[in-house]
Chains A and B, each alone.
Chain A
Amino acid sequence: MKKITLIALATLIVLGGLLMGAKTIQVKGSDTLVNLVQILAETYMEKNPGSALAVLGGGSSTGIAGLTNGTCDIANHSREWKAKEIDLAWEKGVKPRFFAVAVDGVSIIVNEKNPLNEMKMSDVGALYRGDIKNWKAVGGPSLGVSLYGRQSNSGTYVFVQEHVMGLKNYSTDMKEMNGNAQIIEGVIQDEGGIGYVGVGYLFDESGNIRKGIKVLKISNGGAAFSPLDKAAVDSGDYPVSRPLYQATNGKPSAAVAAFIQFEMSDEGQKIVEREGFFPISATHRAANEKNLR
């Protein structure tokens, strides 16, 4: 009996300690979004003493699984949810609501020594499928192509596969890197390298395009546009752009809603621009407002 009493007491102490801790909003998911949302969260916490947010990466799949399993309050994702993820969420009683926080031009980068300045989107797809293995075939030097991409839990991996590669499999020669920064490092070191990264990762601390890489203009049957051209991204002329989302389980709590509202505010969207992404459109803003209600 004494033993059981001691166990019960220990349980209560542990429980009490856990419950007394401050409620931290857990944000998890897309590696494309992780740096941006961390900065947004830090700014928000500075302005709202007492608020607490923890932001983790891991890829869009990780965030979506976290929201479904109840291990996070906000899932960052840079791709649409897959059908099986929607089915599983339904099974677990999770009804996701989506909020666009930024717009990204997925940037195709090559080593700065590569003479190419632009490419057709179909050629980029052919490279990543492994159909073309030498730069000469797309107007470049006679040099082997080194593919750099993300791991399959990344939203960017899926987005490029869906929008650039015609849903075909990646070449098994592609080096699957942990994050955008690793892709950039790979391309800098590799003269034959090509990679895809979120536009926010192109810049160094001074706001200049990072040394050692070149950002390609991309065409889709017409003129080629740069992901750095805000107007082209907004209009959809740049063909590899996408909104970056956050998802909550149903109507967000007051604390979560307040943070999302901050992200959508002028101040939040200025941070979005400063970090190299593009602000959300009026359509996105209206959809967000509706989902907050």
Chain B
Amino acid sequence: MTKSLKLAAFLFVGLMALPSASLLAQQTFTTTIYFDYMTFMSNAGPYTLKPSSETTAYKNNQFLFRRAYFNYENKINDNLKFRFRFDADNTANIASVSLTVDPVSGVSTKKDDKLRPYIKHLFLEYSNFLVPKMVLNIGMIETLTFKPAEDRWGYRSVAKTLVDGYKDITGMDILATSADIGLTMKYSFAKFFRAAAGIYNGTHYSHAENDQFKEIEVQAQITPIAGFSIVGYYDYERKLPVASLPAETAPATSMFKVDAYFEMIKNFVLGGEWFVFKNDLYQSGGEKYDVGGFSVFGRYTIKPDSFALFARYDDYTPNSLDRDLDMTMIIAGFDWVPFHKSWKIQPNIWLRSYGDGTRYNANATSNSDIVLNLTFFLSF
């Protein structure tokens, strides 16, 4: 047994020996799992896995663990909280099914597609920091980028929100992440107005810092009337100069985002998000292009903790200079708790439409994929 293993075993035994009633009461362990049976109901388009020969139909289907979270929280006192979260995802990307080079032979492009655990959150939260209603988070923390949208959409188990899932759907990297190393400060000025700011490495939870620049995020939320909120968000980070740009150019990335949420009707949430992402390195024919999109979603809870309906429409513009690349996606489904709220069944359908890059030509065609998911949401 190596020294580190011995140390780990010692710490584990020590931890297990600790729990008195008071200690246990402050600590929580939770697990959340998203598990799918997914079937592709159409044969057309690049997102449907099919043989290189298109002479026969090939409808792909699979069981899939998309996410598994293990969460440990320790409420140290009324103001201090610690969170450690393991996340595990399948490296297979569910939107662009490129599991194999050759789906017929089944030769994989990767070593394997095992669920791989990694640390997603590792932070300390200090409530009432300096003044009441001010919260400081420090460590590997949640970023501000799409948390409000994710909370309102409420079906991360079915699909990521627009900005979160943008790269998966379009293949265009907009450098958005749900977690990074740094610190955020949030303050609620009044029920009408709250604001937050954060500073992070900008390399997200999957990479160590690789330059001297830091990402800055700011967010402001106004709720002028009960149940109606508008959230503005902006982030910015300088990047290292690159050879393809003039020497005097200091490249940077930035995102501007506006969300609106309508929650005035009991058990009904209507939300929308719009964003534009600018990256000085994104150029086509010497001209810069932007990346953007918008999403509108709604959910209606017919019976709390039992049954709800949800639907969403996304519009993606991965290149503002080439609208042939635009895509749309519709998601619809329902959320049902058959026995206990720790187990939800969320059948849902995705309809993706996209051009073939020539849609403004006389012979333009458009394609669509239909994907049916039987999603199981497990939380305990």
Contact = CB atoms under 8 A, between A and B. Distances in A.
B229 to A, nearest CB: 6
Given A18-B303, A169-B78, A176 B25 contact: yes
17 contacts: A3-B41, A11-B334, A14-B336, A15-B307, A18-B302, A69-B304, A70-B301, A71-B304, A83-B133, A87-B191, A90-B226, A91-B229, A92-B263, A94-B227, A161-B78, A176-B22, A176-B26
A161 to B, nearest CB: 7
A175 B307 contact: no
A27 interface: no
B78 A173 contact: no
A87 B194 contact: yes
B100 interface: no
A84 B263 CA distance: 18
Given A11-B334, A172-B22, A174-B22, A87 B302 contact: no
B132 interface: yes
A21 B304 CA distance: 13
B379 to A, nearest CB: 15
B307 A18 contact: yes
A83 B188 contact: yes
B368 to A, nearest CB: 15
A170 B264 CA distance: 38
Contacts of B133: 83-84
Contacts of B372: 3
A256 to B, nearest CB: 13
Leading 7 A-B pairs by shortest Cβ distance? A93-B227, A176-B25, A90-B191, A71-B304, A87-B191, A93-B264, A93-B263
Nearest to B127: A84
B342 to A, nearest CB: 15
B320 interface: no
Nearest to B24: A176
B304 A26 contact: yes
B226 A94 contact: yes
Interface of B: 20-22, 25-26, 41, 75, 77-79, 132-133, 188, 190-192, 194, 221, 223, 226-229, 263-267, 301-307, 334, 336, 347, 372
A86 to B, nearest CB: 6
Interface of A: 3, 7, 11, 14-15, 18-19, 21, 26, 69-72, 83-84, 86-87, 89-95, 151-152, 161, 169-170, 172-177, 249
A14 to B, nearest CB: 6
A169 B306 CA distance: 38
Nearest to A92: B263
Contacts of A94: 226-227
A293 to B, nearest CB: 19
Nearest to B77: A169
Contacts of A93: 226-228, 263-266
Contacts of B305: 71
A91 B22 contact: no
Contacts of B79: 169
Contacts of A87: 188, 190-191, 194
